């Protein structure tokens, strides 16, 4: 489809009701209109009966604990004999509930009435989607009785291909299974769509005890029962007692007897070690004793990567990673086949499902600025043109790899080249080796303190592959002395690309900034951008981890998190962070920012930003709040035609955006896949961005979001999938939860990007 500039042009709604933005405000930079392919299929327009529901109020005998009300209401929905879902604090059903099921000793329902839900209302539309998803799940299970269908919080439904057909790859103790990811979306115009994709899962037919013996250095985080409901657990620890020695007080029997009653063989009990597990997603859950022969590990790509890093099946595992990265053409073809099956068997449709085509726009790329505002096309060019900002000039190196008192050669050359281009001299002659590093804790603390006393605040640690716990221990010891660490695992052959990224990471931790961002020439653009993220250590969430930059990408640093229960941010903590950064902005510019852009990783929860909005409005500061979501946006592609050959598909161009004015949102392609001689490796996943508050034109927010993904000072050649402020906030929250001792960070300079 030919490209056109989109200004002063009104687009018409597509046949599917997916609206691009009605009109784009005139900006200095023009967008180009393109046709975009989505892995979505129009099913039907919801009828009045589809939208009409009985609504019930749920009253509990004992009021649920604060924060668990929604979960309690959702649990009631499974006990009513009809399909039911939660809508706010109520329950809705299409069929009336049998009066005998409306009361138990724990709760009772009261009919409010019967009404039609509105797809224009966000909460009601979400409830409709949940209801239709349940109907889809029930009909798939009823029609295809021998297949397995699982619910996934982020992805919708996973429909597994059974038997040998679904088994794609195998290795020593692991398998790769293929399935289909199926979700549905309802738009504001009452139209329902299926979203379908290929899905893979790593699986092991072996039990936890086998893995503990075969792969003792592989960290297993999650496990599932090998019997009954396949319940999933967090693996917490191990116990020194035998199954017969552990007593379950509530039942008055031993752990061995309990599992015997649950079908365990005597051999399973005798050959098990006792492990300690906890329920997933329940911070109040108490530890439970379990048996290693009655559990199986839940494998991830990280698990297989750890096996490969140890040199076992490295080639085979890399082949698996390449294999499961299906290109978008393969994904669309498979999706269309599955849509045909669902159309026929679930929705009784004889029509051929059509791949969705919508109007989109390609936005211009960002311009990166090196030393003296020199425009560069990638961060790697700072080797020739110098860094935008200079930081610390003294560095240390701790070589735990080969005991040589020196930097790896390529890193050494790279650091000197960057310093020379930046017009500064650096001191990189402070070395220690493994033979210099003490063995006991007190001596290690003194080691780092003495290094810090020499003015060394950033150290490169060269070491062989090690478990995360070992790196975290070193990192904590260094942070106690106010030293940031950059880790490097040497490769058999010198790798200048890896060396550059190591050098960039080291410099960012030392308050350098390799590149800035050319700011948008628009008075409505934000001049302060802050990203928020949360992470968990399985017990507590490390919320309000924040990172901020100015409009030109200059870092204002990170802020300490507020430790909290649950994934809802504390409104007070958010305001504390924002107010600190506003004052820091004032220190630089002698005024408050005119407009702030706040980005939240994931869904914005009720009340999180209310105080911040109120305080900023009182000061006359405009604010926009965006929810940036990594899932829920499907795939974005484009048709490729060449002469009379068949149509093929490729990923949408980086910077492609689709606007949805009715929901004040857009989806944005921010990354591109790796190109190989045999074709693209995998398919990129776009972001879904929803405006929670503010009045800046949506296309300007999209452009600023896109440009922030291209600012990646710690990588020479790649951009981020997330905007830089969220990328750093995400990395920071994970780093904080690994460290676990927030007090260690109090004396660390906020401009040292310790999490890159």
Which residues does the annotation mark as catalytic?
Answer: 533, 567, 601, 730
Helix or strand (DSSP H, E) at 31:
none
In order, the DSSP letters of 253-314 are: EEHHHHHHHTT--HHHHHTPPEEEEEETT-TTPPPEEEEGGGEEE---HHHHHHHHHTTSSH
Contact 499, 411 (CB under 8 A): yes
Query: Any idea of the CA torsion for 19, 24, 30, 35, to the nearest 10 degrees?
Result: 10
CA-to-CA distance for 669 and 651, rounded, in angstroms? 9
What residues pair up with 433 in beta bridges, in sequence order? 399
Contact 756, 488 (CB under 8 A): no
Distance, CA of 706 to chain centre: 17
Q: Three-class SS of residue 265?
A: coil
Contact 718, 661 (CB under 8 A): no
What residues pair up with 113 in beta bridges, in sequence order? 55
Contact 445, 414 (CB under 8 A): no
Helix or strand (DSSP H, E) at 17:
none
Contact 526, 597 (CB under 8 A): yes
- Sorted by sequence, the CB contacts under 8 Å of residue 307 that are 6+ apart come out as 174, 215, 218, 313, 317
Contact 654, 670 (CB under 8 A): yes
Helix or strand (DSSP H, E) at 128:
helix 122-143
CA-to-CA distance for 72 and 253, rounded, in angstroms? 30
Task: Identify which of 574, 537, 571, 569 has the alpha carbon closest to the alpha carbon of residue 559.
Answer: 574
Query: Any idea of the CA torsion for 446, 447, 452, 457, to the nearest 10 degrees?
Result: -130
- Sorted by sequence, the CB contacts under 8 Å of residue 159 that are 6+ apart come out as 140, 144, 147, 148, 149, 179, 180, 182, 338
Beta strand extents in 315-444 (DSSP E only): 356-362, 368-369, 375-376, 394-399, 427-433
Q: Three-class SS of residue 132?
A: helix
Backbone torsions φ then ψ of 630, nearest 5 degrees: -85, -15
Distance, CA of 63 to chain centre: 33
CA-to-CA distance for 260 and 145, rounded, in angstroms? 30
């Amino acid at each position: 489809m030919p490209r056109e500039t989109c200004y002063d042009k009104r687009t018409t709604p597509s046949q599917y009701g997916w609206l691009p933005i009605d009109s784009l405000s005139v900006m200095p930079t023009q967008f180009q209109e393109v046709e975009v392919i989505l892995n979505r299929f129009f099913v039907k327009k919801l009828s009045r009966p589809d939208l009409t529901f009985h609504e019930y109020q749920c009253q509990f005998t004992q009021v649920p604990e604060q924060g668990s009300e929604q979960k309690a209401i959702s649990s009631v929905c499974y006990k009513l004999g009809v399909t039911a879902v939660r809508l706010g604090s109520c329950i809705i059903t299409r069929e009336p509930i049998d009066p005998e099921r409306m009361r138990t000793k724990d709760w009772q329902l009261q009919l409010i009435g019967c009404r039609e839900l509105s797809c224009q209302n966000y909460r009601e539309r979400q409830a409709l989607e949940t209801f239709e998803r349940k109907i889809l799940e029930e009909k798939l299970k009823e029609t295809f009785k021998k297949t397995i269908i699982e619910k996934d919080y982020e992805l919708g439904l996973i429909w597994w291909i059974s038997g040998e057909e679904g088994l794609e790859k195998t290795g020593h103790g692991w398998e790769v299974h293929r399935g289909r990811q199926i979700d549905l979306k309802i738009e504001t115009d009452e139209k329902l769509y299926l979203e379908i994709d290929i899905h893979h899962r790593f699986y092991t037919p072996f039990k936890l005890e086998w893995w503990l013996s075969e792969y003792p250095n592989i960290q297993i985080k999650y496990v599932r029962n090998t019997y009954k409901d396949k319940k999933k657990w967090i693996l917490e620890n191990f116990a020194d007692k035998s199954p017969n020695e552990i007593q379950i007080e509530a039942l008055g029997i031993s752990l061995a007897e309990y599992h015997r009653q649950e079908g365990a063989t005597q051999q399973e009990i005798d050959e098990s070690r006792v492990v300690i597990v906890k329920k997933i997603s329940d911070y109040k859950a108490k530890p439970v004793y379990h048996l290693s022969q009655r559990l199986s590990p839940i494998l991830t790509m990280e698990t297989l990567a750890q096996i490969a890093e140890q040199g076992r099946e490295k080639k085979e595992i890399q082949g698996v990673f390449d294999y499961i990265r299906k290109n978008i053409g393969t994904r669309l073809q498979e999706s269309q086949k599955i849509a045909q099956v669902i159309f026929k068997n679930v929705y009784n449709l004889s029509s051929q499902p059509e791949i969705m085509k919508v109007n989109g726009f390609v936005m211009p790329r960002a311009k990166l600025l090196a030393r003296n505002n020199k425009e560069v096309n990638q961060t790697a060019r700072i080797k020739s043109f110098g860094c935008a900002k200079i930081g610390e000039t003294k560095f240390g190196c701790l070589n735990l790899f080969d005991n040589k008192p020196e930097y790896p050669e390529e890193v050494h050359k790279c650091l000197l080249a960057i310093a020379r281009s930046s017009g500064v001299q650096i001191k990189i002659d402070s070395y220690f080796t493994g033979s210099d590093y003490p063995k006991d804790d007190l001596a290690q603390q003194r080691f780092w303190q003495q290094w810090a006393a020499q003015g060394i605040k950033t150290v490169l640690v060269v070491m062989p592959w090690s478990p995360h716990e070992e790196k975290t221990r070193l990192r904590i010891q260094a942070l106690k002395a106010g030293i940031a660490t950059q880790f490097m695992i040497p490769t058999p052959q010198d790798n200048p690309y890896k060396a550059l990224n190591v050098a960039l990471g080291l410099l960012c931790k030392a308050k350098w900034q390799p590149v800035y961002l050319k700011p948008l020439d628009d008075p409505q653009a934000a001049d302060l951008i802050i990203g928020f993220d949360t992470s968990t250590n399985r017990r507590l969430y490390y919320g309000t981890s924040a990172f901020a930059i100015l409009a030109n990408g200059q870092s204002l640093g990170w802020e300490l998190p507020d430790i909290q229960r649950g994934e809802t941010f504390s409104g007070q903590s958010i305001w504390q962070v924002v107010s600190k950064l506003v004052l820091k902005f004032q220190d630089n510019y002698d005024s408050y920012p005119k407009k702030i852009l706040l980005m939240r990783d994931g869904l914005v929860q009720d009340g999180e930003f209310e105080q911040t909005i109120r305080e900023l409005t009182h000061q006359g500061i405009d604010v926009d709040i965006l929810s940036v979501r990594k899932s829920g946006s499907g795939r974005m592609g484009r048709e490729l035609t060449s002469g009379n050959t068949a149509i093929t598909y490729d990923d949408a161009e980086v910077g492609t955006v689709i606007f949805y004015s009715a929901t004040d949102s857009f989806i944005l392609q921010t990354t591109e896949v790796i190109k190989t001689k045999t074709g693209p490796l995998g398919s990129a996943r776009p972001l879904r961005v929803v405006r929670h508050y503010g009045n800046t034109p949506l296309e300007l927010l999209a452009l600023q979001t896109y440009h922030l993904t291209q600012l990646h000072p710690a990588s020479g050649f790649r951009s981020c999938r997330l905007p830089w402020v969220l990328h750093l906030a995400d990395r920071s929250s994970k780093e904080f939860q690994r460290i676990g001792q927030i007090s260690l960070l109090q004396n660390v300079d906020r401009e040292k990007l310790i999490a890159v």
